Amino acid sequence: MPSEKQSTSAPPGPALVPARPKMKKGEPKEGLMILVGQPKSGKTSLAASFPDSYVLELEPGGGDRVAGRIHDITNLSQFRDVLKTAVAEPSIKTVVVDSVDVLSDWMEEEIARSRGLETITERKQGVDGFELWGEYRRRIEALVGFLKAAKKLIILIAHCKEPKLDAGGNLVSPAGINMPGKAGSFLAAQADMIGYVYKKPLGSGTAYFVTFQGGPLGTWGSRVDELNDKTLVLPRDVPYTAFEAVFKNGSKPTGGKS
């Protein structure tokens, strides 16, 4: 029998999209921002100064000297309930979680208790440690998915993990988000903006800054083009105004060295 000619045409697939005409511009009103820094560096004050913000304060007494809507949270169950309510409230435009360090500890403790352990690092016959950390990672991923679907600006406050140097002073790992395993790297990859908040003496007082400048010592940066390579001087009364000014009239307030 004569062989039938085989068709060489590819099966139909999804239509490919054309190039975007221009980049998205302007102050972000939704997405994920991470503010990382040392304790008492001004992270909470900056986050709470964003318009229509609501702070979920997980660190006892952490927001008692910060102006704004500060909701003290004492456990993981309460956090979940308040977070869902805040995200659903139309008058709240920015939701702040202070801090992911405490949230991470609570998640670890809950996972450990569910297996009859004191800590997630404790070893017990019949309990797979890799499975525990796998569940921890899934919870972090689920949280990020929920926050990104909120269509609000979400600010996560985190303490800074110091860079590691070898005996010769060479960088082994850069500074980053203080979370176990690769959770900090995952959060960094998911964030739209990562700002390092710090302070330093200036004359007889103290000046506060946030930098989005990336570098070999830190995993900071921004996919919001206007913030790239920016270091902002933060006014003490309303720190948000320095952030807002970047997007107004092409203003580029910079200063200080991180």
* Residues present in the chain in total: 258
In the chain, the percentage of residues whose pLDDT exceeds 90 is 66
pLDDT average, residue stretch 36-57: 96
> How many CB atoms within 10 Å of residue 251?
11
Checking if the pLDDT of 215 tops 80, the result is no
The two three-digit tokens of residue 116, written as one number:
């009859």
Please determine, looking at this structure, whether the domain spanning 31-246 carries the CATH number 1.10.760: no
Query: Alpha-carbon Rg of the chain, whole angstroms?
Result: 22
Cα separation, 210 vs 232, in Å, equals 5
Measure the CA–CA gap between 258 and 23, rounded to whole angstroms: 28
Would you place residue 258 in the very low, low, confident or very high pLDDT band (cuts 50, 70, 90)? very low
What pLDDT is stored for residue 249 in this prediction? 63
Reply yes or no on whether the pLDDT at 82 is more than 60: yes
Those residues with Cβ within 8 angstroms of residue 16's Cβ, 6 or more apart along the chain or in another chain: none
Helices (H), the chain: 43-48, 76-88, 100-114, 129-148, 183-190, 240-246
pLDDT digits (tens, 9 = 90+) for 83-101: 999 999 999 999 999 999 9
- pLDDT score of 218: 74
Residue extents of the structural domains in the chain: 31-246
- Cβ pair 240, 210 in contact under 8 A: no
Record the tokens describing residue 246, joined without a space: 């970047």
